[in-house]
Structure 1
Amino acid sequence: MHCETICIAVDEDHIDGTFAVPRTGVPGVLFLHGWTGSQQGDLTRAREIAALGCVCLTFDLRGHAATEAMRMSVTPRKNLHDAVAAYDALVGHPMVDRSAIAVIGSSYGAYLATILSSYRPVRWLSLRVPALYRDEHWSLAKEQLDRLDLTNYRNSQVSPEENRALAACARFQGDVLAIESEFDDLVPHMTVANYVAAFRQARSMTYRVIQGADHALSEKETRAAYSAVLLGWIREMVLGAR
């Protein structure tokens, strides 16, 4: 905090005043949506978090929304490039404190979020139903992956030494929120357990299960439950550190 003196004109006189101004900007929050999703699913939560005093950025990964025509050819590598570009746009905002960045990812977006933390500084990482992919899928078209093979992989125990996303988790030293859906038919408990176990150096780990929830949070009640957990964590971790 630093002070700036000002002179305030009032009637025909002047009075002295002092602004107490933070030395740093405000936290920045980047949202990464899931596969077949869009930034529309993040906007309500982004507005709620922005109201707490953060600058939030939502965006559409290539292969989604206006660029849906690219879906059959877009790869995880290209979507990581999207995430890096969005991150750089966020930290380029004049109000954002570059040392106070949170990344909030869901499913495929959570997978990308962990890898993003290897390329850019991330202080807080929220992962809802984080998906997992084989390393050899990195440069393959995401839409054309073998679903049965993916299901078998996600139901197996995977270590950070075997997967780039989990390796990024093992190096991460910030605060983590991991959220699982009780009735998830795409990301099983084993996948979430692999992620949680990989955070060997995290400053803190918060793990929650949304009761009655499916992967997409189809019911209003489960969406509200997720929002409550996320906003509570943001208040405690992000705003509590300011």
Structure 2
Amino acid sequence: MTIHSEGIEIPVDGESIAGTIVSPGAKVPGILFVHGWGGSQQRDLARAKQITGLGCVCMTFDLRGHEKTESQRLSVTREQNLADLVAAYDRLVSHPAVDTSAIALIGSSYGGYLATLLTALRPVKWLALRVPALYWDDEWNLPKQALDRQRLTDYRQRPLGPGDNRALGACAEFAGDVLLVESEQDDFVPHSTLMSYRSAFVSAHSLTHRIVDGADHALSSDRCQKAYSSILSAWISEMVIGARLDRYPHHSPWYS
């Protein structure tokens, strides 16, 4: 299979953020990766290329406040980063190779939080969240970097439900398939936060919860990175490429 990699610019709020689309030749599902706070699309690119080989159009991008827009790190808000994600989604579904009814989101940490919010704004069929972070609803337009860290730590230890948090409320409405990946030794997103997310997905078609043994929040070791890649690839193969084929008619533009 020929794989095409294209660097793109995504306009948002009069500015632009950098992205990369990796795609095969035929019309196929689209998968959008959302990196965490302090990360970049570079961490996702290797996985995007691997998954593209399964028969998907994958897209990575840099949220504002990162990489070439790092100068905005102290001022960018959650609202602006959600706008980045909406713009990236709209760019992905405009790609001629993408089946717009078959979109997956793969979000890590802050990116996982944003991904849940996007499901309330755009159609998403599959949702993979690695150590999804959780933030209170207030101070939405305060710079993300200015949020009180101790308050965040305390907030994430609390049992929270869909009525307590906008992201969890979006999870409760999501009717697709979900993958939750937890790090066993996570100092930033504790087990209690994963349980809040897990409990919120009351309408999900399916929910898979995996724990990477011995892993920290950033998956610092090669072993943990490989373990997560294996979990993600297996889930994508089962949900997006395999088990869902029988739910599409043979004339689906990406079936053949």
Asked if TM exceeds 0.5, the reply is: yes
Please state whether the residue corresponding to 1:192 is helix, strand or coil.
helix
Q: TM-score, normalised by structure 2?
A: 0.85
The match for 1:43 is 45
What amino acid sits opposite 1:70 in the alignment?
Q
Deviation digits for residues 192-237 of structure 1, max 9, x if unmatched? 0000000000000000000010000000000000000000000000
CA deviation after TM superposition for structure 1 residue 140, in Å: 1.1
- List gaps (5 residues or longer) in structure 2: 1-25, 246-256
The match for 2:83 is 81
The match for 2:171 is 169
In 1, the alpha carbon distance for the partners of 2:220 and 2:83 equals 29
In 1, the alpha carbon distance for the partners of 2:51 and 2:79 equals 29
Aligned partner (choices 89, 97, 100) of residue 102 of structure 2: 100
Please state whether the residue corresponding to 2:61 is helix, strand or coil.
coil
CA deviation after TM superposition for structure 1 residue 64, in Å: 0.2
Deviation digits for residues 159-181 of structure 1, max 9, x if unmatched? 11010000000000000000000
Q: Say yes or no: does 1:219 pair with 2:221.
A: yes
The match for 2:18 is none
The match for 1:31 is 33
Q: CA RMSD in A?
A: 0.8
Q: TM-score, normalised by structure 1?
A: 0.90
CA deviation after TM superposition for structure 1 residue 25, in Å: 2.8
Matched pairs, number? 219
Deviation digits for residues 126-149 of structure 1, max 9, x if unmatched? 000000000003211000111000
Runs of 4+ in 1 over 3 A off after TM superposition: none
The percentage of aligned residue pairs carrying the same residue is 61
- List gaps (5 residues or longer) in structure 1: 1-23
The correspondence of residues 127-146 of structure 1 with structure 2, limited to 5 A, is: 127-146=129-148
Q: Say yes or no: does 1:202 pair with 2:194.
A: no
The correspondence of residues 225-240 of structure 1 with structure 2, limited to 5 A, is: 225-240=227-242
The match for 1:20 is none
In 1, the alpha carbon distance for the partners of 2:239 and 2:212 equals 20
In 2, the alpha carbon distance for the partners of 1:174 and 1:52 equals 20
In 2, the alpha carbon distance for the partners of 1:109 and 1:168 equals 15
Please state whether the residue corresponding to 1:100 is helix, strand or coil.
strand
What amino acid sits opposite 2:132 in the alignment?
P
In 1, the alpha carbon distance for the partners of 2:194 and 2:89 equals 25
The match for 1:52 is 54
The match for 1:151 is 153
CA deviation after TM superposition for structure 1 residue 185, in Å: 0.2
Please state whether the residue corresponding to 1:97 is helix, strand or coil.
strand
In 1, the alpha carbon distance for the partners of 2:139 and 2:171 equals 19
What amino acid sits opposite 2:36 in the alignment?
G
